[in-house]
Amino acid sequence: MTLTRSIVVPGMITEYGAFADLLADLSPEQWEAPSRCAGWRVADVAGHVVGQLSDVVAFRLDGLGAPEVTARQAEERRGHTPAELAAELRTSAKTATDLVASFDDAAFDAEGPQGNGQTLGYGLEALWFDTYLHADDILTALGRSVTATEGLAPSVSHISDVLTSEHAEPATIRLTGLNDFHVSSGDLRRLIEGDPMQFILVSTGRADPATMGLGPEINIYR
């Protein structure tokens, strides 16, 4: 179940600010470093994240999240510098901040402009998750890892919602430091326990599910 508006809206905006700061500090060599996203450099990961928010605030929502769209977002920004993409992201984040300021709880819980029966809140939480995860992709490429913990709960929440929408086997996700999340209404007989970040990596194809005693069906990108 999507987290509340009072958590998701400010959290998403803060995450974009942190991502812009991350980009602005990258050197030309770091910009060209290969990432764990197959075929993508750090610059391509950044191009996708920045392009995604630019698309969202311009209401270019068709196919958002599809491989061809993420590839287009990265391709459109090939040759741009870290400073240029950080500036674009800050501009789009300002527009996003102005837009979300008008959303009340009813709007947050209503079907969003992305359609497919998903709420606006679901879409905003998905943006937070995607940005948090890709920040870790970039940091990992630089020999570091994300240390901020604010993005853990929305990421696990989003993953549990995706698995539920896929009619995955009922399970209760009980990870260190987080409240329980439920897949397909939950099942205490099937507990998924462990480190939240490891679960996020496992559930997005970035780590072996066997490290948490899980199978490949946990990967939401399979």
* Tokens matching residue 180: 């329980």
Indicate whether 58 pLDDT > 80. yes
pLDDT at 148 (0 to 100) = 95
Determine whether 188 is exposed, middle or buried from the number of CB atoms within 10 Å of its CB (0-12, 13-18, 19+): exposed
**CB burial class (10 A; 0-12, 13-18, 19+) of residue 61?**
middle
> Going edge to edge, which strands form the sheet with 171-175?
181-183, 171-175, 191-194
- Contact between residue 141 and residue 36 where contact means Cβ atoms under 8 Å apart: yes
Confidence of residue 1 (pLDDT cuts 50, 70, 90): confident
Mean pLDDT (whole number) for 64-76: 96
Residue 117 banded pLDDT, cuts 50, 70, 90 = confident
Q: What is the mean pLDDT of residues 201-215?
A: 97
Confidence at 222, pLDDT banded by 50, 70, 90? confident
Name the residue ranges covered by the structural domains of the chain.
Answer: 5-141, 152-218
Q: What are phi and psi of 168, to 5 degrees?
A: -65, 160
pLDDT at position 66 over 80: yes
Q: For the residues 157-180, what does the mean pLDDT come to? A: 97
| DSSP 8-state code for residue 191 | E
Angstrom distance (rounded) from CA 144 to CA 152: 17
Q: Is the confidence at residue 13, as pLDDT, over 90?
A: yes
- Looking at residue 69, its amino acid is V
For residue 99, give Cα distances in angstroms to 9, 64, 86, 91, 103: 10, 19, 20, 13, 8
CATH topology of domain 5-141: Four Helix Bundle (Hemerythrin (Met), subunit A) (1.20.120)
